[in-house]
């Protein structure tokens, strides 16, 4: 009996998932010089082109070959919201229909993009809206890169100013998407990319000691921030389950190793909750932790989410807390909430029911 086998069409690869070496190898297979890889990368990363036909310095007969083998994933703005205070929040739809959020935070001396590293999050921090969602997948380097491009466009659209800073403080835990996050930062800071200094990029982690040590071994040049929120293991584990496997002692040791290898100071993020971590005793515990690792403290005003489990600390208590830290030689910055009216503030991303629903679709 004769069988007729039908060849399955080749699955097109996302061309921006290829390394430079892989691109060079592809062009070599097709009898093209290696500099074609550099040309294509300029179109993809520097000029953010989404069509091979527009790559006008490539031979016309080469463009259909690229089209045959590769695809270019495009990110679309599903929703754009402008806060009363000037903050801009974007709901960004990925090629598979999943949604993440990115935020532009304008200030007098800077324009900051807050971007996501995962669709959803697996860490279940009690005070964070994203933590209420399951983790659906990691973001690819090009998807992280495209968020920055989209937020950068908002800076020009609303303020006619360039982006100055990037913080990986949106949805997800960056160190659980380690390779893709570092690749995205390389692309963002590369001249064949956005050319942004790594010193203007901050990666925020809930605290995974072994991955912090890996950052140190990789001698990264970007800044690191730890979402601390309590300098007491019992309290921290209550609101951040990850602390059960990454105690404060382990984190202090890993952060010391990071500082020793990179010479970069760490920023400690401390969301202050009413009647939970807002006393001078809590401040003393934070001072003691701070003395183990050189760094500075950002006190962050709490932003309510739908379940109402936590409340914002009284302003007088926040000021007294900060003053106590400063009196003990801790560099402190109080970060007031931005974009609360559009759920764009710290901890509120994916708080809107329609966005959460679209992510579960």
Point out the catalytic residue in the list 41, 101, 140, 285. 101
Residue 72: is its pLDDT beyond 90?
Answer: yes
- Topology adopted by domain 76-360: TIM Barrel (3.20.20)
- When pLDDT is averaged across residues 136-146 and rounded to a whole number, the result is 96
Q: If we measure between CA atoms, which residue out of 245, 338, 324 comes closest to residue 290?
A: 324
Is the per-residue pLDDT at 7 higher than 60?
no
Q: Is 101 a catalytic residue?
A: yes
What would the pLDDT profile of 26-55 be if each residue is shown by its tens digit? 999 999 999 999 999 999 999 999 999 999
- Tokens 């934070």 locate to 286
Residues above pLDDT 70, as percent of the chain = 88
357: pLDDT confidence band, cut at 50, 70 and 90? very low
First-residue to last-residue Cα distance in the chain = 45
pLDDT band at 302 (very low <50, low <70, confident <90, very high): confident
Between CA 162 and CA 351 the distance in angstroms is: 28
Plot region of 97 (φ>0 → left; ψ -120 to 50 → alpha; else → beta): left
Distance CA 256, CA 261 (A): 9
> What number is the average pLDDT over the span 241-268?
95
Residue 290 confidence (pLDDT):
94
pLDDT computed for residue 11 by the predictor: 85
Active-site residue (options: 121, 125, 128, 346)? 346
Bigger pLDDT: 217 or 311? 217
Q: Flag whether pLDDT at 183 surpasses 80.
A: yes
Helical (H) or strand (E) element with 20: helix 20-29
The string of DSSP codes covering 288-317 is HHHTTS-EEEEEEE----TT--S-BPPHHH
Average of per-residue pLDDT values in the chain? 89
Render 84-133 in DSSP notation, one character per residue: TTS-EEEEEE-TTS-EEEEEEEE-SS-EEEE--SEES-SS--TT-SGGGS
CA nearest 200: which of 298, 109, 121?
A: 109
CATH architecture of residue range(s) 13-71: Orthogonal Bundle (1.10)
pLDDT digit string, tens, across residues 190-209: 999 999 999 999 999 999 99
pLDDT score, position 110: 94
Q: pTM for this structure?
A: 0.89
Q: Are 202 and 225 in contact (CB under 8 A)?
A: yes
| Cα–Cα dist 295/277, whole Å | 20
Question: What pLDDT, on the 0 to 100 scale, is given for residue 337?
Answer: 62
- Give mean pLDDT, residues 216-225: 97
Please write the tens of the pLDDT for every residue from 111-132. Answer: 999 999 999 888 778 787 766 6
Whether 229 shows a pLDDT value over 60: the answer reads: yes
- The ranges assigned to domains in the chain are 13-71, 76-360
């Amino acid at each position: 009996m004769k069988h007729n086998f039908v060849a399955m069409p080749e699955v097109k690869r996302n061309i921006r998932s290829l390394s430079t070496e892989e691109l060079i190898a592809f062009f070599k297979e097709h009898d093209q010089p290696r500099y074609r890889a550099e040309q294509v990368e300029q179109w993809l990363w520097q000029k953010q082109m989404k069509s091979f036909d527009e790559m006008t310095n490539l031979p016309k007969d080469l463009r259909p070959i690229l089209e045959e083998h590769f695809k270019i994933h495009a990110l679309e703005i599903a929703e754009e919201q402008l806060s009363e205070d000037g903050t801009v929040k974007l709901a960004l739809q990925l090629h598979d229909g999943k949604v993440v959020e990115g935020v532009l935070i304008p200030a007098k001396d800077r324009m900051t993009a807050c971007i996501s590293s995962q669709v959803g999050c697996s860490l279940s921090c009690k005070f964070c809206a994203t933590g209420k969602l399951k983790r659906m997948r990691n973001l690819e380097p090009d998807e992280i890169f495209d968020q920055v491009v989209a937020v950068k466009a908002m800076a020009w659209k609303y303020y006619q100013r360039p982006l100055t800073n990037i913080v990986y403080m949106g949805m997800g835990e960056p160190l659980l998407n380690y390779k893709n996050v570092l690749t995205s930062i390389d692309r963002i800071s590369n001249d064949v990319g956005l050319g942004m200094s790594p010193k203007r990029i901050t990666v925020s982690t809930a605290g995974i000691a072994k991955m912090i040590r890996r950052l140190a071994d990789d001698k990264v040049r970007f800044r690191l921030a730890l979402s601390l929120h309590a300098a007491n293991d019992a309290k921290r584990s209550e609101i951040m389950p990850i602390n059960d496997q990454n105690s404060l002692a382990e984190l202090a040791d890993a952060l010391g190793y990071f500082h020793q290898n990179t010479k970069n100071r760490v920023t400690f993020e401390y969301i202050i909750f009413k009647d939970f971590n807002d006393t001078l005793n809590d401040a003393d515990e934070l001072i003691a932790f701070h003395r183990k690792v050189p760094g500075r403290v950002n006190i962050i005003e709490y932003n309510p989410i739908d379940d109402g489990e936590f409340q914002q600390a009284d302003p007088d208590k926040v000021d007294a807390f900060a003053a106590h830290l400063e009196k003990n030689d801790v560099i402190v910055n109080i970060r007031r909430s931005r974009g609360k009216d559009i759920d764009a503030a710290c901890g509120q991303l994916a708080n809107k029911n329609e966005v959460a629903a679209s992510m579960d679709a």
